[in-house]
Structure 1
Amino acid sequence: MDIFTLTIAISIIIFVAIGSFAGRNIKHLDDYFVAGRRAPTLLIVGTLVASVFSSTIFLGEAGFTYSGQMGPYLLMPAVACTGYIYGALLFGRYLRRSRAPTVADFFGRRFNSHRVQQISGLTIIVALGGYLLVVTQGAALLLSDLTNLSFTQSLLIAWVSYTLFTMYSGSQGVILTDTLMFLLFAVATVFFISFIVTDLGGIAAAIENLSGLESKPGIASWHGVVGPGTEWPTPMDYLIWTLILDIAWSVVYAVSPWQSSRHLMAKNEHVVIRASVYAALAVIVLQLMIYGAGGLINLTNPQIEPAESAMIWAAKNMVPEFLGALLLAGIMAAALSSASTFLSLIGFSASNDMVRHKEASEALSLRFTRGVMLAIGVIVLVASFYFPANIFWLMLFIGTVFTSSWGPVALMSVWSKTITESAAFWGMATGFVFNVVPAGLQAFGFIDLPSYLDPVLIGSVVSLCTIIIISRLGKVSRKEALYRMRLHRTPAQEVDLKAVKTTLLAPAILILYGCAMPFIMSHFYVLPYQTGSGELLADGSINWLTGEALLSFSWALVYIPLGLITAKVIINSYSPSAKIKNSYTQTAVKH
Structure 2
Amino acid sequence: MNIYNITVAISVIAFIAIGSYSGRRVKSIDDYFVAGRRAPTFLILGTLVASVFSTSIFLGEAGFTYDGQLGPYLLLPGIAVTGYVYGALFFGTFIRRSRAPTVADYFGRRFDSHRVQQAAGVTIILGLGGYLLVVTQGAAILISDLTDLSYPMAILCAWLSYSVFTLYAGSRGVIITDTLMFLLFSGATIVFVIYLLDGFGGVSFAIEELSRQSYKPDITAWHGIIGEGTDWPTATDFLIWLVIVDLSWSLVYAVSPWQSSRHLMAKNEHVVLRAAIYACIAVIFMQILIYGAGGLINLAKSDIEPSETVMLWAAKNLVPEFLGAILIAGIVAAALSSASTFLSLVGFSVSNDLASHRGPLKLGTTRLLMSAVALIVLGLSIFVPANVFWIMLFIGTVFASSWGAVGLMSIWSTRITADGAFWGLIVGLLGNVIPAGLDYLGFISLPSYLNPALLGSVASVMVILLIARQQSPGDQERAYLAKLHETPIADCDPAKTRVTLIAPALLMLYGAVMPFLLLRYYVLPYQRGRGTVLGTGGINWNEVEAWIAFGPALLFVPLGLIAVITISRRYAPRQATAVS
1:422 correspondence with 2:415:
no
What's the counterpart of residue 352 of structure 1?
Answer: 352
- The whole-number CA distance in structure 2 between the counterparts of 1:166 and 1:451 is 40
- The aligned runs of 1:230-379 (5 Å cut-off) are 230-358=230-358, 365-379=362-376
Q: Distance in 1 between matches of 2:189 and 2:120?
A: 35
For 2:376 and 2:266, how far apart are their aligned partners in 1? 31
CA contact (8 A) 2:130 2:395 kept: yes
- 1:417/1:481 contact within 8 Å kept: yes
Q: State the shift of 1:389 in Å.
A: 3.1
Of the three residues 378, 398, 402, the one matched with 1:401 is 398
Shift of 1:396: 8.1
TM-score (normalizing by structure 2): 0.98
Change (3 A) 1:69 1:213: same
- Structure 2 counterpart of 1:495, which letter? C
1:256-283 CA distance string (max 9 Å, x none)? 0000000000000000000000000000
Aligned to 1:38: 38
Q: What is the aligned partner in structure 2 of residue 473 from structure 1?
A: 470
In the alignment, which residue of structure 1 is the partner of 2:452?
455
Q: Aligned with 1:201: secondary structure?
A: coil
CA contact (8 A) 1:60 1:391 kept: no
Please say if 1:502 is aligned against 2:502.
no
Bigger mean CA deviation after superposition, 339-348 or 544-553: 544-553
Classify the secondary structure of the residue corresponding to 2:446.
coil
Shift of 1:89: 0.3
**Is the Cα–Cα contact under 8 Å of residues 18 and 177 in structure 1 kept in the other structure?**
yes
**Per-residue deviation at 1:546?**
2.2
Matches within 5 A, 1:133-212: 133-212=133-212
User: Are 1:117 and 1:353, in contact at CA under 8 Å, matched by a contact in 2?
Assistant: yes
Q: Does 1:573 align with 2:575?
A: no
Partner residue in 1 for 2:428: 431
Q: For each residue in 1:442-468, what CA deviation from the matched residue of structure 2 results, as whole angstroms up to 9, or x when unmatched? A: 222222111000100000000000000
Contact 2:126–2:394 (Cα < 8 Å) also in 1: no
| Counterpart Cα distance in 2 of 1:338 and 1:108 | 26
Native 8 Å contact 1:405 1:432 kept in 2: yes
Question: Deviations 1:25-69 (Å, cap 9, x if unpaired)?
Answer: 111100000000000000000000000001111011111111111
Does structure 1 residue 532 correspond to structure 2 residue 529?
yes
Match of 1:71 in 2: 71
Contact 2:393–2:437 (CA under 8 A) maintained in structure 1 = no
The yes-or-no answer on 1:544 pairing with 2:537 is no
Structure 1 residue aligned with 2:408: 411
> Is the CA contact 1:518–1:552 (under 8 Å) kept in the aligned structure 2?
yes
Question: What amino acid does structure 2 have at the position aligned with 1:133?
Answer: L
Aligned identity (percent) is 60
Q: Is the 8 A contact 2:393 2:433 kept in 1?
A: no
Q: Larger deviation: 142-151 or 469-478?
A: 142-151
Query: What one-letter code is carried by the residue in structure 1 that aligns with 2:366?
Result: T
User: 2 CA distance for matches of 1:529 and 1:350?
Assistant: 52
The 8 Å contact of residues 127 and 398 in structure 1, kept in 2 or not, is answered as yes
- CA shift, 1:394, in A, is 6.5
Distance in 2 (CA, whole Å) between partners of 1:451 and 1:43 is: 38
Give the partner amino acid of 1:285. F
Which residue identity does 1:450 align to in structure 2?
P
Tell me the distance in 1 between the aligned counterparts of 2:151 and 2:45. 33
Per-residue displacement from partner, 1:358-409 (whole Å, max 9, x unpaired)? 46x75xx222222222222222222223444359997686100000000000
Which amino acid counterpart does residue 369 of structure 2 have in structure 1? Answer: V
Alpha-carbon distance between aligned partners in 1 of 2:547 and 2:372, rounded to the nearest angstrom:
52
- 3-state SS of the aligned residue for 1:79? coil
Question: What amino acid is the match of 1:329?
Answer: A
1:35 aligns to what SS in structure 2?
A: helix
Q: Name the structure 1 match of 2:131.
A: 131
For 1:487-498, list aligned pairs within 5 A: 487-498=484-495
* Range moving further from structure 2, 227-236 or 524-533: 227-236
- Letter matched to residue 97 of structure 1: R
Shift, 1:2, TM fit: 0.4
Task: Determine if contact 1:56/1:395 at 8 Å carries over to the other structure.
Answer: no
- Measure, in 2, the Cα distance between the counterparts of 1:188 and 1:477: 53
Task: Give CA-to-partner distance per residue, 1:90-126, whole Å, 9 cap, x none.
Answer: 0000010110000000000000000000000000000
Task: Give the deviation of 1:144 after TM superposition.
Answer: 1.1
Q: Distance in 2 between matches of 1:276 and 1:79?
A: 15
1:547 to partner: Cα distance:
2.4
Partner of 2:116: 116
TM-score, normalised via structure 1 length: 0.96
Task: Tell me the residue number matched to 2:57.
Answer: 57
Q: Could you give the per-residue CA deviations for residues 406-443 of structure 1, whole angstroms, max 9, x where no partner exists?
A: 00000000000111111110011100001011111122
Is the contact made by 1:60 and 1:392 (CA closer than 8 Å) also made in structure 2?
A: no
* Contact map agreement 1:397 1:439 (CA 8 A) in 2: no
Q: Secondary structure at the match of 2:549?
A: helix
In the other structure, the counterpart of 1:389 is 386
**Residue identity matched to 2:345:** L
The residue that corresponds to 1:2 in the other structure is 2
Deviates more, 1:460-469 or 1:542-551: 542-551
Aligned to 1:589: none
Alpha-carbon distance in 2 for matches of 1:289, 1:179: 19
* Greater displacement, 291-300 / 434-443: 434-443
Contact 1:222/1:548 (8 A) holds in 2: yes
* SS of aligned partner of 1:406: helix
Distance of aligned partners of 1:510 and 1:46 in 2 relative to their CA distance in 1, 3 Å threshold: same
Supply the distance in 1 between the matched residues of 2:65 and 2:197 (Cα, whole angstroms). 16
Q: 1:218-233 to 2 correspondence within 5 Å?
A: 218-233=218-233
**1:164 partner letter:** V
> Is the Cα contact below 8 Å between 2:130 and 2:394 reproduced in 1?
no
- For 1:164 and 1:315, the matched residues in 2 are separated by 29
Which structure 1 residue ranges, 5 or more long, are not aligned?
587-591
- In 2 relative to 1, CA 391–222 (structure 1 residues): closer, same or farther, beyond 3 Å? farther
1:515 is matched with which residue? 512
Residues in 1 aligned to 2:237 and 2:365: alpha-carbon distance in whole angstroms:
49
The CA deviation string for residues 309-332 of structure 1, in whole angstroms up to 9 with x for no partner, is 110000000000000000000000
One-letter code of the match for 1:474?
Q
Deviation, 1:357, is 3.1
Alignment correspondent of 1:17: 17
The 8 Å contact of residues 7 and 325 in structure 1, kept in 2 or not, is answered as yes
C-alpha distance in structure 2 between counterparts of 1:56 and 1:343, whole Å: 17
Alpha carbons of 1:396 and 1:125: their partners in 2 closer, same or farther (altered >3 Å)? closer
Q: Residues 385 and 20 (structure 1 numbering): CA distance in 2 closer, same or farther, change over 3 Å? A: same
Question: Aligned pair in 2 of structure 1 residues 354, 397: CA closer, same or farther (>3 Å)?
Answer: closer
Shift of 1:146: 1.3
Give the partner amino acid of 1:155: I
What is the rounded CA distance, in whole Å, between the counterparts of 1:53 and 1:180 in structure 2? Answer: 13
Q: Please tell me the residue identity of whatever aligns with 1:311.
A: M
Q: Secondary structure at the match of 2:267?
A: coil
Pairwise CA distance, 1:543: 1.6
Question: How many angstroms apart in 2 are the aligned matches of 1:396 and 1:473?
Answer: 32
Question: Shift of residue 538 of structure 1?
Answer: 3.1
Deviation at 1:540, TM superposition (A): 2.2
- Across the aligned residues of Structure 1 and Structure 2, the Cα RMSD in angstroms comes to 1.5
Kept in 1, the 8 Å contact 2:108–2:114? The answer is yes
